[in-house]
Amino acid sequence: MPELPEVEVVRAGLAPALTGATVTGVEVLDPRALKRHVPVGGSASDGGHGVTLDAAEGVRRAADFERRVTGLRLLAPRRRGKFLWVPVDGDDRSEPRALLAHLGMSGQMLLRALDAPDDRFVRIRLWIEHPEHGELRLDFADQRLFGSLALDDLIVDGGEPASLPAQASHIARDPLDPLFDDALFVESLLRRSTAVKRALLDQRLLSGVGNIYADEALWAARIHPETAGSALSERNALGLLAELRAVFTKALAEGGTSFDEQYVNVNGQAGYFSRSLHVYGREGEQCHRCRAVIKRIPFGGRSSHFCPRCQRLH
């Protein structure tokens, strides 16, 4: 699943072409990619990851989305954790709104020339016109259909009025956010009796961290993934936070992590941070720091990778 660096690479790639552009046309090719979209007259319970759309509801959502998104003026894309959104002008309702994208496991936002060949697994297509860059096509492709587009209300977020999509209201700020509260993070982490890796994946504590970057940051901080948060010192917690930021920054510079064709940037290109991984996916190989053998243990249906010598369980 895309994590903070991958989604930020997409946001940065979209920004020049989308900011100030107008949506001139929309085509919903697969209404299942609108499971988070709430049509006019619907309720908040109509949207959500677990929604299954019947044929009639799919047609209704597709028609509503195409009508309401066509003609919108797009503002600068924003992101929190794994959520990406584009605030809009010109919606037919008075409340501030945004075009919200959740990439799920395999969602892609691809910028294309109008005459470019079709991308695989395109679910929704937008045609846009930018005052400087001209006409372009924005394809939302999603092989596994866990992702979604939606037109969502913007709500008050701390001191920023009408700036956060309602569907992302439960998501905490991420460690690269200028308003991230280091002291609150440390205090919350040290109160937890659960494993520190589980805490890192809790999007209510901090956002944008998934399996890959949790393993990499814990290795860098020399902390075993099953260490309880309450067993850490304040110095340990601050060091872990610093390593998270360092890992994210390096991953951003290298375009994110790609192991297959499912994660690409807006031009369809893969990131190469996978070449810089120290533990994730390296079971049985030597630790880059002490040359012990990297181990893998089950973790919530996935795996944790760590060095048994550098990351001792206390």
192 is known to lie in a ligand binding site: yes
93 is known to lie in a ligand binding site: no
Q: Is 2 a catalytic residue?
A: yes
Give me the catalytic one of 93, 204, 302, 312. 302
Q: Which two tokens stand for residue 212?
A: 């890959």
Give me the catalytic one of 2, 31, 87, 165. 2
User: Please, what is the angle between helix 182-190 and helix 234-253, to 10°?
Assistant: 120
| Residues counted in the chain | 314
- H helices of 71-225, in order, are 182-190, 196-200, 211-221
Give me the catalytic one of 11, 78, 82, 97. 82
Contact 29, 123 (CB under 8 A): yes
β-partners of residue 162 are none
Q: Is 82 a catalytic residue?
A: yes
First to last CA, the chain: 30
135's CB contacts (< 8 A; 6+ apart) are 24, 114, 127, 128, 129
Binding-site residues for DNA, in ranges, read 144, 192
Binding-site residues, in ranges, read 144, 192
The catalytic residues are 2-3, 82, 302
